Amino acid sequence: MSFRATVLTLYPEMFPGHLGVSLAGKALERGQWSIEAVQIRDFAEDKHRTVDDTPAGGGAGMVLKPGVLARAIDHVSADDHRPRLLMSPRGRPLTQDRVRELASGPGVVIVCGRFEGVDQRVIDTRNLEEISIGDYILSGGEPAALVLLDAVVRILPGVMGNELSGIHESFEGGLLEHPHYTRPQVFEGHEIPAVLTSGNHGAIAKWREAEARRLTAERRPDLLEHSRKDGEPSPQPVKK
Ligand code: SAH
């Protein structure tokens, strides 16, 4: 069974978006994953197809009504075991570890919020896992869902041409990645570090590890606490 994404949204035309091109798009055509965007509004029951209402307790903005959203969720995931996610700035920050877990499962159901957000009772009763893509506010959950799916799809088996290139990436070993260089040997007077053209693979690996540690210490010291110790094996690509 290939990875199956169902996205609940008021803007289904935003999908598959950029995931319809390049490697993800080719994998989509090959059926290595699938995506279905479902219009939440189709589950409204009044004649105006209302999806939002004013916040209880007052205040600015509107809230997605619980009934409409609950019916949409039940319709798409009544009898499957896919995790149900809600894109939300209040959620747990998305990490590469969670991306790997999701990629090794059957798929996801993703709810995209709009307005001020969704009624809390839907989050509670439908067991939605809130996930944030960063400490800033988007106008809707759709770009966040596309970010999450991009991260998941690229590590599905067979999606990236060279599967190995998915292993040595920032975060995979708990560190940021080392810098990259390619030809020419001299660019605007700046040389490629000599070790990289030395042909000494042991020395190259050492240099990369040291650079990764240096960059991580400089930019993301918070990651160092969780990083792998020297000599531990690299994580393997996701197997189905
Ligand atoms: N009033 C809310 C923000 C609503 S933004 C608050 O202050 O928490 C509207 C919708 O955009 C949200 O329901 C959510 O689905 C999405 N969204 C906004 N920022 C996001 C982020 N950083 N990560 C994931 N989803 C986000």
Q: What is the pLDDT, as a whole number, of residue 231?
A: 47
Enter the DSSP assignment of 168: S
Beta-ladder partners of 129: 85
Domain positions in the chain are 3-153, 168-229
Q: Which CATH fold topology does 168-229 show?
A: Trp Operon Repressor; Chain A (1.10.1270)
Q: What is the pLDDT, as a whole number, of residue 225?
A: 83
Centroid of ligand 1 to alpha carbon of 100 (angstroms): 23
Q: Which CATH architecture has domain 3-153?
A: 3-Layer(aba) Sandwich (3.40)
Q: What is the pLDDT, as a whole number, of residue 168?
A: 72
Comparing CA positions, the residue from 144, 136, 58 lying closest to residue 94 is: 144
Q: What is the pLDDT, as a whole number, of residue 228?
A: 54
pTM of the model: 0.92
Q: What is the pLDDT, as a whole number, of residue 30?
A: 96
Q: Average pLDDT by consecutive 10-residue portion of the chain (240 residues)?
A: 95 98 97 98 97 98 98 93 98 97 98 97 98 98 98 94 68 92 98 98 98 98 76 49
The domains spanning 3-153 and 168-229 adopt the same CATH topology: no
Centroid of ligand 1 to alpha carbon of 76 (angstroms): 22
Instruction: Quickly tell me which residue has 């106008």 as its tokens.
Output: 139
Q: What is the pLDDT, as a whole number, of residue 88?
A: 98
Which residues does ligand 1 sit against, CB inside 6 Å? 87-90, 112-114, 116-117, 132-134, 136-138, 140-141, 144
